[in-house]
Structure 1
Amino acid sequence: MEEKMEDNNVHGSDGEDTKKEQEEYEKFCYVCRRSEQVTGPMISMPGSMNLCHDCMQKAFDSVTQGGFDLSKIPNMPYMNLNLNDLGKLNSQDFDIPKKQKIKKRSDKEAKPEISLKDIPAPHVIRQKLDEYVIGQEQAKKVISVAVYNHYKRVYLTEKGLTDEEGNVQIEKSNILMIGPTGSGKTYLVKTLAKLLDVPLAIADATSLTEAGYIGDDIESVVSKLLSAAGNDVDKAERGIIFIDEIDKIAKKKSTSSRDVSGESVQQELLKLLEGSTVEVPVGSNQKNALTPMTSVRTDNILFICGGAFPDLEDIIKERLKEKSSMGFSAELKDRYEKDSNILFQVTNEDLRKFGMIPEFLGRLPISVTLESLNKDLLIRVLKEPKNAILKQYKKLLELDEVQLVFEEEALEWIAEEAMKKKTGARALRAIIENFMLDIMYEIPKDPSIGSVVITRAYLDKKGGPFIQMRS
């Protein structure tokens, strides 16, 4: 008797462990793949299958309407399967999709709240950005204030202080970043997300198409954020989504076919930018019958859209030249031809002419323009940031116990070459990689080398680097 009691206790503890383990997973219907939060309580079937009441009702309807035909049920994976065979689904002949683990909190479990002390002040955000990003003073100031105000809005929303009883409601403020390639748009957002310790998803607008066409659906950007948050919905709903190359979804000026990757994508993005609840796939960018779905609210997600907007300068110049008139106070026609920072004079009218629809621009109330990097800024980019390119190479050679030194004239040569490529800070690494190849190859050969000085003569191919041996 005692042995049987012990066995019962063991089985009882195992059952409780199994039950707890099952509670960690959210149930999904095996047919329609909707979650239990959407469909309500599900019916558990043999073989670890769960069916919602809607799909079960369709199965019974197919039986009562003249014969049992599972092919009438959409997305049913086994068309010729009989109900008597459901108990055999654990065999190796059938592959049952594994359940995706989704972190969901019960009603009793307290949701982690954000406090005002957790939100860094704008000057603190600006100081941290200064450690990594050179220049772009106005952009860093605008972004710091916008992010600070956004997370104060999140705090008020979660505290329930933005109800309709007379309290002031703070509207959502998304950001539009305009700047030439290599000016630091993506780098700014990455540094910002690291500072705030929030999940960040970087999506490329070039792959987005209207729903139903080949490419990524609009909801895929939210799915990437959910993945970056470890499938934690609450954490994802406070994150940041950066949509790069936003200028590539501009409305086509003349097309005879449907614009499935232009204006229609802007129309689909409106609901995400404004704030809505969307069903997104978990662990995949594509929706299908075997991918679990979950609901994510975008009300408190900060959207930052960035793009280089090529040829926008011509639109701005055309508008500014219209102001020219005759007389002593007239503006010269070529006044704006050599202005490298003409993007600072951009208006919503210019963006509409470029191909962005007014509704889309209205949901990006904060616009910031990044300046193109000149020679002095490129030299600072090489030396000053915490993870500057020169510091990276110096660290690599320190592992070989070799000191790396760059002359100021050599840095000027690198900056001049980078400006010729017209790709901003991205050109710096390509140039340094080119002339550092031989040095990184030869130095490990001779352990007696103590230091290497990069000179302008070496970069101009008129000499070699200055090498000092160990004493």
Structure 2
Amino acid sequence: MRQHAHPFSSHPISSAWVASSNTALAPTTPIPPSALCRAYSSSASSVKAAEPPASPVFAVAGVTEATPADDDPHSCMTPKAVVELLDRYIIGQDDAKRAVAVAYRNRWRRKRVPASIRDDIVPKNILLIGPTGCGKTEIARRLAKLANSPFVKVEATKFTEVGYHGRDVDTIIRDLLEAAIGLVRQRLRRQHEAALRAVVEERLLRALHSQEQLGAAGQPAVVEALREKLRKGELEDVYIEVDLTPPPGARGGGGAGGPGIIDLGGFGMGSPQTPVVINLTNLGGKKDVRTLKVREARPLLEDLEAERMFPPEQLIKEAIAATEQDGIVFIDEIDKIVSGGRGPGSWRSGDPSSEGVQRDLLPIIEGSVVSTKHGNVSTDHILFICAGAFHSVKPSDLMAELQGRLPIRVELRPLSRADFLRILTEPEYNLIRQQKVLLSSEGVDLEFSPGALDEVTRVAEELNRSLDNIGARRLHAVLERVVEEISFDAPELVARAREQAGAEGQQAQAGTAAGAGTTPVAEAQSSAAAVSSGGTAEGAQQAGAAGSGAGPDSPAAAPGRVKVVIDRAHVERTLSALLQKQDLTRYIL
């Protein structure tokens, strides 16, 4: 049941959440605030949010005139810093990065203004316009990780108008709240990890040693001996009997909507009324006693003790506050619910997934109260980022009311061949690095010559021009075809290299290796290069020459490993046949 709220009174949230802003939901290991302030200009592998100063876990307090602490790590995350961080993962699209960076900074600014005006400052929702594969989704996803905020990505075409069978738009907010619950739970478990492990360790010790024996003489020595073995991992396969009965009001092991939870809200038709949730776990007061190995019981006990340490009602209160103040919703393919166009990409007028969905989105984006099984959630301060290609329709074909709720419009440009080359090499976890890491796990040191990269980008650009333009996603298809043969033959290449290395080692021990003309590594490299360059001796020499000029970043393969150099000739040989058969290319690339 949705209700409008103008104005919506501030939801009471914990003092820890107010002081820490977005940092309370960091999904990664926390680092000191000073380190986060330097993160955007350092070479750190990822940005991790800092935890707030020590404070009661659930000291509930209303929002006051007080501003956040001066050591708030997000004070260093200026729009320029956010753009520089996004540059590490996304190539180009500077206008879109600037828009989301300002929106992110405005959230931090809002928390520092007096409470009398705070509720009147609403986020400026964004409409990203650009072809598929140009970075719209990635920008929103990286922003959510950077902000450590509840985030959901939905497709507008998956929803139907209220009154029709299917999902209604209110489920967006319910999914966002579930994401917030998971993030808050992770944060609290990190904050109290030491205490949680200590409690679980004591429970495991009690299970390993009966109460009667613990009361006997020499108890401390026995317990300490068990504790030492437990910490060393010597008792992981010992079977113990543990009581896994959940505390009253807990999730029952299944989380929201998990086993034993029945949600009767809505019955799958239209807009649900007040949800009815029936918890059937532990019905009748029976205990859940199981016999498990120590390694199997530990994670279950950690989950159970976490439920005891963090009361569900207080955890939900934290999660609702996080959703309302820091939630981010990314609605993709919003152009597909526009009926103003007549092209194949637009929906027919009267379609339940068309303008009716636009009307249902209006109150949520503008600000309303959505009823969930955990409580009411206000959408007044949730940031909405909508995106669409708008090939067959124009942004002006959106309902006028919806256009007004997306005041910031950013047009993303199509990617060029130069952008493709940067995408392959510059981002922190670029596609080339991913392929190298995957094959390195099997003993193959993969290298790409500059000519190979140039040919990959040329083919990707040509395919986007002659077929459907899918942007950077074309690089995935092309690159997979290029490395397919090497990836398939990798185990045999490595096995052959190790056999040769073993044989040469035996010859060296016997004193017969003095006249050997080549080393096992050189032979393995030559064989692998031949595979990557067409399987000929001439191709092996070309690949070896390409690899020799790669510099210090491309050292010779270690004994027992194979170095494979992919050059332009290999790329041309792999893709030439497909490029000549356009009908086949349409399905494969």
TM-score bracket for the superposition, by shorter chain length: 0.5 to 0.7
Query: Which of 141, 161, 167 is the equivalent residue of 1:216?
Result: 167
Query: Which of 113, 116, 119 is the equivalent residue of 1:161?
Result: 116
Distance 1:459 1:256 in 2: 44
Query: Which of 140, 143, 147 is the equivalent residue of 1:196?
Result: 147
How far off its partner does 1:442 sit?
Answer: 0.8
How far off its partner does 1:155 sit?
Answer: 4.6
Distance 1:305 1:155 in 2: 27
Aligned partner of 1:132 in structure 2 is 89
Q: Flag the 1:373–1:108 CA change in 2: closer, same or farther, 3 A.
A: closer
How far off its partner does 1:256 sit?
Answer: 8.6
Alpha-carbon displacement from aligned partner over 1:35-71 (angstroms, at most 9, x marks no partner)? xxxxxxxxxxxxxxxxxxxxxxxxxxxxxxxxxxxxx
Q: Does residue 380 of the first structure (1) align with residue 422 of the second (2)? A: yes
Q: Does residue 148 of the first structure (1) align with residue 105 of the second (2)? A: yes
Larger RCO: Structure 1 or Structure 2 (Cα < 8 Å, ≥ 6 residues apart)? 2
Aligned partner of 2:176 in structure 1 is 225
Aligned partner of 2:569 in structure 1 is 457
Query: Which stretch shifts more, 431-440 or 412-421?
Result: 412-421
More helix by share: 2
Distance 1:190 1:428 in 2: 20
Alpha-carbon displacement from aligned partner over 1:373-412 (angstroms, at most 9, x marks no partner)? 0000001001110110100011112223322111122112
Alpha-carbon displacement from aligned partner over 1:274-316 (angstroms, at most 9, x marks no partner)? 1111113xxxxxxxxxxx352111111110001111135xxxx
Give the alignment of 1:403-442 within 5 angstroms.
403-419=445-461, 420-421=463-464, 422-442=469-489
Aligned partner of 1:8 in structure 2 is none
Aligned partner of 1:269 in structure 2 is 361
Q: Flag the 1:269–1:256 CA change in 2: closer, same or farther, 3 A.
A: closer
Query: Which of 309, 314, 323 is the equivalent residue of 1:236?
Result: 323
How far off its partner does 1:427 sit?
Answer: 0.9
Distance 2:574 2:385 in 1: 47
How far off its partner does 1:161 sit?
Answer: 3.4
SS in 1 for 2:570: helix
SS in 1 for 2:573: coil
Give the alignment of 1:16-165 within 5 angstroms.
109-110=60-61, 117=72, 118-119=74-75, 120-156=77-113, 160-162=115-117
How far off its partner does 1:252 sit?
Answer: 4.5
Query: Which stretch shifts more, 382-391 or 432-441?
Result: 432-441
Aligned partner of 2:193 in structure 1 is none
Aligned partner of 2:492 in structure 1 is 445
Contact in 1 for aligned 2:79/2:101 (Cα 8 Å): yes
Distance 1:128 1:222 in 2: 28
How far off its partner does 1:259 sit?
Answer: 3.8
How far off its partner does 1:170 sit?
Answer: 3.1
Residue 371 of structure 2 aligns with an amino acid whose one-letter code is: E
Q: Does residue 294 of the first structure (1) align with residue 245 of the second (2)? A: no
Contact in 1 for aligned 2:160/2:167 (Cα 8 Å): yes
Contact in 2 for aligned 1:244/1:305 (Cα 8 Å): yes
Q: Flag the 1:357–1:114 CA change in 2: closer, same or farther, 3 A.
A: farther
Q: Does residue 278 of the first structure (1) align with residue 370 of the second (2)? A: yes
Q: Flag the 1:386–1:253 CA change in 2: closer, same or farther, 3 A.
A: closer
Contact in 1 for aligned 2:349/2:355 (Cα 8 Å): no
Structure 1: any 5+ residue segments left out of the alignment?
1-31, 33-104, 281-291, 313-349, 465-471
Distance 1:228 1:409 in 2: 44
Q: Does residue 178 of the first structure (1) align with residue 129 of the second (2)? A: yes
Distance 1:462 1:124 in 2: 42
Residue 425 of structure 1 aligns with an amino acid whose one-letter code is: A
Q: Flag the 1:106–1:265 CA change in 2: closer, same or farther, 3 A.
A: farther
Q: Does residue 248 of the first structure (1) align with residue 336 of the second (2)? A: yes
Identity over aligned pairs, percent: 37
Distance 1:143 1:179 in 2: 15
Q: Flag the 1:293–1:180 CA change in 2: closer, same or farther, 3 A.
A: same
Distance 2:133 2:479 in 1: 16
Q: Does residue 207 of the first structure (1) align with residue 162 of the second (2)? A: no
Aligned partner of 1:52 in structure 2 is none
Distance 2:389 2:69 in 1: 36
Aligned partner of 1:58 in structure 2 is none
Contact in 1 for aligned 2:481/2:575 (Cα 8 Å): no
Contact in 1 for aligned 2:446/2:565 (Cα 8 Å): yes
Q: How many residues align?
A: 305
Distance 2:476 2:380 in 1: 39
Distance 2:571 2:117 in 1: 61
Distance 1:271 1:359 in 2: 10
Contact in 1 for aligned 2:368/2:378 (Cα 8 Å): yes
Aligned partner of 1:356 in structure 2 is 398
Instruction: Give the CA RMSD over aligned residues.
Output: 2.8
How far off its partner does 1:139 sit?
Answer: 1.6
Q: Flag the 1:389–1:462 CA change in 2: closer, same or farther, 3 A.
A: closer
Distance 1:365 1:303 in 2: 11
Query: Which stretch shifts more, 385-394 or 253-262?
Result: 253-262
Contact in 1 for aligned 2:449/2:568 (Cα 8 Å): yes
Q: Flag the 1:148–1:240 CA change in 2: closer, same or farther, 3 A.
A: same
Contact in 2 for aligned 1:266/1:360 (Cα 8 Å): yes
Q: Flag the 1:380–1:276 CA change in 2: closer, same or farther, 3 A.
A: same
Q: Does residue 260 of the first structure (1) align with residue 368 of the second (2)? A: no
Contact in 2 for aligned 1:252/1:259 (Cα 8 Å): no
Residue 141 of structure 1 aligns with an amino acid whose one-letter code is: R
Contact in 2 for aligned 1:154/1:300 (Cα 8 Å): no
Distance 2:179 2:107 in 1: 20
What TM-score, normalized by structure 1, do the two folds share? 0.60
SS in 1 for 2:110: helix
Distance 1:301 1:241 in 2: 7
Contact in 2 for aligned 1:275/1:300 (Cα 8 Å): yes
SS in 1 for 2:117: coil
Q: Flag the 1:278–1:106 CA change in 2: closer, same or farther, 3 A.
A: farther
Contact in 1 for aligned 2:341/2:392 (Cα 8 Å): no
What TM-score, normalized by structure 2, do the two folds share? 0.48
Distance 1:445 1:179 in 2: 44
Distance 1:208 1:195 in 2: 28
Residue 235 of structure 1 aligns with an amino acid whose one-letter code is: A
Query: Which stretch shifts more, 173-182 or 115-124?
Result: 115-124
